[in-house]
Structure 1
Amino acid sequence: MSLISQEEFQKIANFKGENCVSIFIPTDRAGKEVLDQKDKTYLKSSWDEVKKRLEKEGISEDKIEAIGKPIEELINDPEFWRHQSDGLAVFAAEGFFEKFTIPVNFEAYTYISKEFYVRPLAPVLKNEGRFYLLAIQQDKVDLYEATKHSIGPVYIEDLTPERLEDRVGYDYEEKHSKHKTQHNLSGQSTTHGYDAANRDEKNEILRFFRAVDKGLHEVLKDENVPLVVACQDYLFPIYKEANSYKNLYEQVIPGNPSDTNMLGLHDKALKVMEPQLEKEKRNKLATFSELPPEKTSTEIHDIIPAAFEGKIDTLFLENRAEVWGTYDEENRKVETKEEQSDDATSLMNLAAAKVVETGGSVFLIESAFMPEKASKLNAIYRYS
């Protein structure tokens, strides 16, 4: 499931209007918060706040109603609120409305200006931390392609057997049931291992997993990204024995994959793979400190023009910080302001949008971990 494409991002980033409203809220995938409609209430209160600000600025009731109509419809759509991820981004203006449900735990934020606020989405666009996720059971096999911020199914039905019986024969289920009954009567548990009595069962599962591995080879043969497996603990050692893919991730996503949906599996995968997925960010931070001064910058008066020129490879933005001001592209002149106004916009938002547009990477960094903490923007240049 592609959560937001480069084209969608650019459409939002390039939109200009008199009253562009951006709303970000954290949301819940399931649980009591969903039943209590907490997320719906959160969006309603955010929209109420925006309406008050628009009214205070003298925007007519008709224009506010036009901007808010799709937001009100979303608030009152019960089906929408049953299928959330970690965050919701809403963009609304007269004649324009877009929403994105994304596995990013946004901090609540509202923004009104002549452009939309895309900075929180910028890290989502980078295809960092790409990996495959294999959810495997004895009666079901699913493969997903994922990044830190997206996941989607990979079609493998013609490549792998769907269930163990398809590989080892339809007498398996009868034999397995009989074998399981015998063990239950004897009081011996077979959950976490295989003794001589159930060695045949393990061998049949191994044959099945080898058939799955052979089919997956057609998808993974030219890949060099991790394959993380979701399965019950006792099955993982058998799958490791069957596996031939060189980048099998050593840590399993435990539990029965059927106990959750695709987004739930993605969430579990991110927890297991966090050290791997943060590797690119760590490498970029280390690179910043190793480069000569002419290959980096901490000056906003240099970074904004460089972003427009496509000069920036990596941009670090201090999370929860803001810099207001204006940029005269023709004269390459940056002017900072104390606060937002009709003339002063978010320069950090502007920089993020341009770096994404020109193929660079954007990372939101907590203040304590910024390479140069005295500046809210740090940049690595592609060229001096």
Structure 2
Amino acid sequence: MGKDRENKWQPGKGKPSGANKNQPDIPADLPTKHPNRNTNKRADHTTTGSTQNRNTNTGYNEIVTKTQVEELPGILTRDVFIELTGFDKPPCISLLMPTHKAGVEVNEQADMTAFKAALQKVEKMLNEKGIDQSSIKDMLQPGYDLLKNNTFWLSLNNGLAVYIADGFFKYVKLGNPVIQLIQVNSSFYVGPLVPYMVRGETFYLLDIAKKFPRFYRADGFGIERLQIDEMPFGVDDVVHFEEKDGDMLFRSGSGGKGGANFHGTGGGRPEENENIATYLQEVDDTLWETQLHGQNAPLLLAGQEFLIPIYRSVSKYKNIWPEALTGNHHQQNDNDIYEEAMKVMKPYFDQPLQYALEDYLNKLATALTSSMVDAIIPAAYYGKISHLFVKKGFQVFGTFNEQENKLAMQELEGNMNNADDLVDKAVIKTIQNGGEVYYLEADQMPNQSELAAIFRY
């Protein structure tokens, strides 16, 4: 209850005006509970205890969990990845599934239904492993809570990875679909997250136009428009066509406000291309002074075809990408221009992989490469691998004793209670030791293998 503008008390929002006045009569024979009773005490003291102080027969909807649900960023840092890989309090539940951003599947709650079925399957798997029912409910309750969160199900991407353990519940919304997978093991299954780790490849994009040029910084996951206050607004902002006494022409700040900037050339009216060149040189000077000085990331140019060679001729930046986005892009939003830019920049992002594949071929006849699983798995544990190539979907189950250097692989999944996905372990160990991992299609794999590696020594 609060006061209105006339200082009169008004009922709280969402309640009828008489809600606090006319309480329903309580039948005399209906037992009541003291309002100050300890609500954490059980009515039935014969049941076994649990961390949540609840009856073990209570359904999921009545459980109160203390586990904090956390969304991990869609672009994972190496530190976040290693934190996931280092979690060692089994049972560790990994749940991966394709999801939908829009369409009939969202309207019909297909992802929610699939997730509920996955939770039920996880519960069955935990029961088969002999986990007590109280612990199972504790671990899975945050997942059942998510089923009631409509905002969550309306904001998914193309894939979802969920990691669950005792007191641990974290998820990642993935940009690409993943193969459905449910695994209960001694550690999390994190290999599918590797393509979403932060990489070093970035590039710049300049959308040239006679008015209001736009400048961006982008990487393999997204694009950001950079606001540069010193940037000239257009040709007329730089090249003035009236005679002036001095050598420099004066341009006031944005809208005549703020500090003054000096741009342009002396008096006289040069030809149109010279005007454009003067303007683009001013754009280039501004970018050089504010953004590009000391940088070496590629600069992708976008704009009408006749503007591209003019900019190249006046720019002092040495790493302008050979191909350009030609056409008028000023009507496109940032995401649309980013999608086009990524098609042009694909060779740039493929370079690290191409260099690694070439290195593998150059060392193929030496002891510094291998496509033998029984050689690669131990090498990953001992930090020998600099580059690991994995065929998408390839798994090998078994165990590796690091102290005894003993590898045991299973022909089939069979009894997985004491087995690991050794390929996933090799991925984890390679990244933890500073190596690079590439998931490839079968026709991209070196030596037509399922697993291949370059060794450091």
> If the length of structure 2 is used for normalisation, what is the TM-score?
0.65
After superposition, give the CA deviation of every residue in 1:2-57 in whole Å (9 maximum; x if it has no partner). Answer: 71111100100000122212222334455665555554455444434433433444
After superposition, give the CA deviation of every residue in 1:192-241 in whole Å (9 maximum; x if it has no partner). Answer: xxxxxxx86x8777665544432322422323332234567786566556
1:99 aligns with 2:171: yes
| Equivalent residues of 2:231, 2:286 under 8 A apart | yes
| Equivalent residues of 2:223, 2:334 under 8 A apart | no
The 3-state SS of whatever aligns with 2:443 is helix
The 3-state SS of whatever aligns with 1:304 is helix
Higher relative contact order (CA closer than 8 Å, sequence separation 6+)? 1
Whole-angstrom CA distance in 2 between matches of 1:86 and 1:318: 21
Whole-angstrom CA distance in 1 between matches of 2:74 and 2:278: 34
Q: Residue 380 of structure 1: CA displacement?
A: 0.3
- Partner in structure 1 of residue 370 of structure 2: 297
1:10 aligns with 2:82: yes
Give 1:108-257 correspondences, 5 Å limit. 108-125=180-197, 127=199, 129-134=201-206, 138-139=211-212, 141-146=214-219, 148=220, 150-151=221-222, 153=224, 155-158=226-229, 160-161=231-232, 163-164=233-234, 167-168=237-238, 209-218=280-289, 219-229=291-301, 240=312, 243-249=315-321, 250-252=323-325, 256=329
The 3-state SS of whatever aligns with 1:66 is helix
CA RMSD of aligned residues (A): 3.6
- Partner in structure 2 of residue 382 of structure 1: 456
The 3-state SS of whatever aligns with 1:331 is coil
1:308 aligns with 2:381: yes
- Partner in structure 2 of residue 285 of structure 1: 357
1:357 aligns with 2:432: yes
- Partner in structure 1 of residue 41 of structure 2: none
Gaps of 5+ in 2: 1-72, 241-270
| Equivalent residue letter for 1:217 | W
The 3-state SS of whatever aligns with 1:107 is coil
Percent of aligned pairs sharing the same letter: 30
Number of equivalenced pairs: 350
Whole-angstrom CA distance in 2 between matches of 1:24 and 1:153: 29
After superposition, give the CA deviation of every residue in 1:71-119 in whole Å (9 maximum; x if it has no partner). Answer: 3344443444555444332212121122223434423322221100111
More displaced stretch, 109-118 vs 122-131: 122-131
| Equivalent residues of 2:391, 2:441 under 8 A apart | yes
2:445 to 363, 370, 383: 370
Whole-angstrom CA distance in 1 between matches of 2:437 and 2:278: 45
The 3-state SS of whatever aligns with 2:179 is coil
Whole-angstrom CA distance in 2 between matches of 1:103 and 1:320: 18
Q: Residue 351 of structure 1: CA displacement?
A: 0.4
Give 1:32-111 correspondences, 5 Å limit. 37-111=109-183
Gaps of 5+ in 1: 171-198
After superposition, give the CA deviation of every residue in 1:289-320 in whole Å (9 maximum; x if it has no partner). Answer: 22133111222332222212221110011211
Whole-angstrom CA distance in 1 between matches of 2:334 and 2:143: 27
- Partner in structure 2 of residue 333 of structure 1: 406
| Equivalent residues of 1:3, 1:100 under 8 A apart | no
- Partner in structure 2 of residue 194 of structure 1: none
The 3-state SS of whatever aligns with 1:269 is helix
- Partner in structure 1 of residue 247 of structure 2: none
Whole-angstrom CA distance in 2 between matches of 1:230 and 1:69: 50
Structure with more of its chain in helix, by fraction:
1
> If the length of structure 1 is used for normalisation, what is the TM-score?
0.76
The 3-state SS of whatever aligns with 2:91 is strand
| Equivalent residue letter for 1:216 | L
